[in-house]
Amino acid sequence: MHDKLQHSIRATHDVLDERLSTAEWHRPTADKPRDRFPATDTFLASASRHLAAANAVLVPAARRQLPDGSELAHRFSRTSRDLEYAMAQTKAKLYGEAHAIYRPWHEIWTDLHHRFDAFMALEEELVAALVEHTTKEARSELADRVYGAELRAPTRPHPYVPHLGLPGKVARRICLGVDHFWDTTEGRMIPEPVKPHDREHDGRLTQYLLADPHLPGDDA
């Protein structure tokens, strides 16, 4: 049966994966020397938001509801930091910061892809565990809360701030304020996160047109 949380997380992963690929293959030319900037910034902003929202919403739910929730929460935090570190290196390379300027781009992208794949796999593992141990209504609420958290999440990677508990909540709030200041100053466009959608409320024609049928009694 269709699950709103799983669907929204997978849809977000698909969007982030596409934005990462787009960023990697937007390379500067003589006519467009800054062609890499918009695509890379779009990926970094949307991925940063999702990472922060997942730590703010999914991790506390895992701690409360899953038998191995504490261990999974700490793994999730470590994997988040690893990805954010790679994202911070990408941003540093993009803007020519001294500590990253000599790293070749192929090394930056390889590291980013590796850590991105590891995070996405772990998040899908966490969501699958929540599907097993929580109600459908609870997961629908979690999907909506992740979306709401993304709208209020930092738009840049912050690998060195706390991620879990009250310190993580306070750190995200401070980072959001700083990021919003710089986004406004730089005129940076921040993409909308993927909005959760309950396909079971779609009519049959809509499901057909979306090529994603979830008709009554369909357990696929």
What is residue 30's predicted lDDT score, i.e. its pLDDT? 64
What is residue 216's predicted lDDT score, i.e. its pLDDT? 46
For residue 120, the one-letter residue type is M
Using only the alpha carbons of the chain, give its radius of gyration: 18
Model confidence at 97: pLDDT above 50 = yes
Model confidence at 145: pLDDT above 80 = yes
Model confidence at 173: pLDDT above 90 = yes
Asked if 2 and 214 count as a contact pair (C-beta separation under 8 A), the reply is: yes
More confident residue, 1 or 169: 169
Model confidence at 37: pLDDT above 90 = no
Share of the chain above pLDDT 70, in %: 87
Please enumerate in sequence order all residues whose Cβ is within 8 A of that of 184, keeping only pairs 6 or more positions apart, or say none: none
| Interatomic CA distance for residues 109 and 114, integer angstroms | 9
Within 10 angstroms of residue 214's Cβ, the number of other Cβ atoms is: 18
- The segment with the largest mean pLDDT, out of 92-96, 147-151, 161-165, is 147-151
For the segment 105-135, what is each residue's pLDDT rounded down to a tens digit? Answer: 999 999 999 999 999 999 999 999 999 999 9
Task: Annotate the chain with DSSP letters as a single string.
Answer: ---HHHHHHHHHHHHHHHHHHHHHH----SS-TTTHHHHHHHHHHHHHHHHHHHHHHHHHHHHHH-TTHHHHHHHHHHHHHHHHHHHHHHHHHHTT-TTTTTS-HHHHHHHHHHHHHHHHHHHHHHHHHHHHHS-HHHHHHHHHHHHHHHHTS-SS--TTS--SHHHHHHHHHHHHHHHHHHHHHHT---PPPPPP--GGGS-HHHHHHTT----TT---
Range name among 9-13, 130-134, 196-200 with the lowest pLDDT average: 196-200
Q: Assign 210 a pLDDT band (cuts: 50, 70, 90).
A: very low
Range name among 18-32, 39-53, 175-189 with the lowest pLDDT average: 18-32
Tokens (6 digits) for 27? 């390379």
